[in-house]
Amino acid sequence: MIKLTTWVNKDCTLGRLSYGNFKCFTLELPWKDNATNVSCVPAGTYKATKYNSPSKGLVVLLKDVEKRTWIEIHSGNYTHQIRGCILVGDGITYLDNDSIPDVVNSRNTLYKLLEALPMDFDIKIDRA
């Protein structure tokens, strides 16, 4: 099972994801009452699978998130690249001038995560 602990901030949600020996950071949008495309994923345990997205290639797809669909864990660096999904990276820094933290080395981090995961699994999201 993937474990993801998140910290909700005013402008973003940061997290620490672990699966066995694999660990990385995550970036999501802030909490906005689970609104589609603008909110981070609510705390809970979800089924997930590897999925070949038409626009992003191989990603992780979360299933059965209440009132939400098509939530992916995919690569990206900035909150403006997120529409309710989760970005992964091996570090957190400021890459642009908007004062919102960003994740780095996202594509390589996603490849390593996908390599470590089975086809189907669970993900547990907790708020710190």
Residue 93 has pLDDT above 90, yes or no: yes
User: pLDDT exceeding 90 applies to what percent of the chain?
Assistant: 98
Give, in degrees to the nearest 5, the angle at Cα 79 between 21 and 96. Answer: 100
Measured torsion, CA atoms of residues 126, 4, 33, 102, in degrees rounded to the nearest 10: 140
Average pLDDT of the chain to the nearest whole number = 97
Which pair of structure tokens corresponds to residue 4?
A: 């993801």
Q: Which pTM does this prediction carry? A: 0.96
Question: Domain locations in the chain?
Answer: 2-127
CA 2 – CA 65 distance, rounded (Å): 16
Measured torsion, CA atoms of residues 75, 77, 82, 87, in degrees rounded to the nearest 10: 50
Measured torsion, CA atoms of residues 83, 126, 65, 119, in degrees rounded to the nearest 10: 90
Measured torsion, CA atoms of residues 84, 76, 48, 18, in degrees rounded to the nearest 10: -110
pLDDT band at 86; cut points 50, 70, 90 = very high
Can you give the pLDDT at residue 97?
86
Can you give the pLDDT at residue 95?
94
Which pair of structure tokens corresponds to residue 120?
A: 């189907």
pLDDT band at 52; cut points 50, 70, 90 = very high
What is the average per-residue pLDDT within 18-25? 98
Per the CB < 8 A criterion, the answer to whether 86 and 41 are in contact is: yes
Can you give the pLDDT at residue 102?
98
